[in-house]
Chains A and B, each alone.
Chain A
Amino acid sequence: MGALKEYIIPRICTYVLVVFIGITICFFIPRFTPVDPVLAIINRLTESGQYYDPDALSQLIDSMKELYGLKGSLLDQYIAFLRRAFLGDFGPSLANFPTPAVSIMNRALPWTISLLFVSTIVAWLVGNLIGGIAGYFSERNWAKGLGAFATVVYPTPYYIMALLLIMSLSYAIPIFPSYGAISIGINPSLSLEFILNYAYHAFLPALSLIIVGYGWWFLSMRSIVIHTKSEEYVQFGEMTGLPRRKLLLRYVIRNSLLPQVTGVSVALASIFSGAMITEVVFSYPGIGYILYQAVINGDFNLMMAVVTYSIIATATATLILDLIYPLIDPRIKYK
């Protein structure tokens, strides 16, 4: 247990530092622009022809100024920013005045999390399992065929997959809806009606994430398995007369799966970004879509909220994974 403390505490410290640094980067980006951002945003708003009532506009200028802070020194601004970030207060959403940016984001969050969670887990399980089997039987033709498929799918960018799916299954052959998460008039609840309706809408976005993710997990698992199956314990296991199925599952795949758990941390940032862009393509009301709206509307508060929380979310997910891993790997758990 003491050894775990040796690992947990430094890891949490790193986590705090990472979030800290990440938020600081967020803080500094608007300040390093050559253009006066307040002016730029105001101009863009008025250019796009949207009407803002004078109250909102002046409050906008004020909060802009407060955020960019000609109030006080850089240090004051920084501290004010940090305090706001901790309290979860990013000010009102400029396009949906006076709704707080955070509440808009919180409404969108569950959609994104459910989509991400489900598609990542499915892609991970399916990709690793099939990739593992294909790696074990790497000389067979069907394994090579699966490999070719994964090779095509893996480098395909998420949005391209999303576009392809929309073009084929929404326009060419209209089976699935191309936008939204639920039909109008249905409220989120635990009823079967809601779940079915949601699944119907979320199917394509999830599928697009799953297919591309599958490519990634398949290929990496396959190469790990090809390496693992030549390990001494696998060859010895074979010589003790173990049946193929047992060798495959308990000796090869089980050992190959461990590095794939770590692999999720690495893939996280990319999966997350992929989810965001998929949401935009499908007009799926998650935080990616919210961010997209915020960009179009020049809704700076909302943008900062989403970006900051993205950083915290991915850092937290990575932390959780890093803390879980020692519990899974007996080589670390029993030291």
Chain B
Amino acid sequence: MVVITNLKRYARFLWNFLRFSPNITVGIVICLVILVMGFGISLFAPYDPRRWGSTPRNLPPSSDYLLGTTSIGQDVFWFLTYAIRNSMLLGVVGSAIGLVIGTVLGLIAGYKGGIIEKFILLITDTIIVVPTLPILILVSTMIKKQLDMVMLGTIIALLTWGLPVRNVRSMILSLREREFSHVASFSGFKMLNIITSEYTPHVLPWISASFISRINMAIGMEVTLSIFGLSSLQEATLGTMIYWALNYQALLKGLWWWILTPVVTIIFSVLGLFILSVGISEFLNPRIRLHRIMIGEKK
């Protein structure tokens, strides 16, 4: 009985969440489409889409080949499903690991202060200032042969954890000084308790927004790397699709389906994720919800 009422409550919460703003609705829909394509439909591929020569070449979209075929003899549609899966995997890995590292370091810097904080900040500033792309290129050139999605994601994470440190630290600093911190502290809350119960509502919107935008960033880096020919070229990712298409002069030869598919998919996913992150942070930010309530509908 209790389980059912709880489920109903969750269901209602979910329904309110989805309806909260068009941002969320659109974002979730796009994410679902991507997830279904990448992790659902891809399981049904009739052949390994990466294999060269599995289909006739350079065919435009038709009922046999939904998005046409490439100059290497691959089915664009099925290749796309694999590519989405890999790019998403890489995005999530790169985003999550970097976010965790950055958040933890930011928390430490914010709380401990002193020499530790200064030291962390120095390293962080270096990581932020150093332009990621050249370093990424350097690293990839060195270990090109062994790049898989998880590894590439980790490398990207290791180069981009800088910004979360600064953001988390400044959030911690301002939260510490706010009155409710002192109140909580004076009423005997332990530090960890304070973090989880009082600070989390303030930090959550940022974390969720950051997680999603970092996915975009990671995917972007992979594609950039591919254009340089440095990604894992045998793998199927959105980036390698573009690379091979450009390599085979898809533009000049008029094979628009080959180059447009990854480009449109990237725009679509990146846009969807971004809209979703905006929606989520609006939803989680109590002040914005209040603002909307107070303004109501303006004519």
Contacts and interface: CB of A to CB of B under 8 A. Distances in A.
Interface of A: 14, 17-18, 21-22, 25-26, 29-30, 32-35, 37, 40, 139, 151-152, 154-157, 159-160, 163-164, 166-167, 171, 266, 268-269, 272-273, 276-277, 280-281, 291-292, 295-296, 298, 303-304, 306-307, 310-311, 314-315, 318
Interface of B: 122-123, 125-126, 128-135, 137-139, 141-143, 145-146, 163, 213, 216, 220, 223-224, 227-230, 242, 251, 259, 263, 266-267, 270-271, 273-275, 278, 298
Given A26-B135, A304-B138, 8 more contacts: A21-B126, A154-B274, A155-B271, A269-B131, A273-B132, A310-B131, A314-B129, A314-B131
A294 to B, nearest CB: 9
A26 B159 CA distance: 13
A29 B142 contact: yes
30 contacts: A14-B125, A25-B135, A26-B135, A26-B138, A29-B138, A29-B142, A30-B138, A30-B142, A35-B145, A151-B278, A155-B274, A156-B267, A157-B220, A157-B223, A160-B266, A166-B251, A266-B163, A269-B131, A272-B131, A273-B133, A273-B134, A280-B228, A281-B227, A295-B230, A303-B141, A307-B135, A310-B134, A311-B129, A314-B129, A315-B129
A98 B137 CA distance: 24
Contacts of A280: 227-228
A277 B274 contact: no
A18 B126 contact: yes
A142 B197 CA distance: 41
Given A34-B146, A151-B278, A171-B251, A303 B138 contact: yes
Contacts of B143: 33-35
A266 B125 CA distance: 10
B220 to A, nearest CB: 4
Contact of A295 (B129, B131, B137, B223): B137
A269 B124 CA distance: 14
- When A and B form their complex, which 8 residue pairs have the shortest distance between CB atoms, in order from nearest? A273-B133, A155-B274, A33-B142, A307-B134, A157-B220, A155-B270, A310-B134, A21-B126
Contact of B133 (A37, A40, A167, A276): A276
A314 B132 CA distance: 11
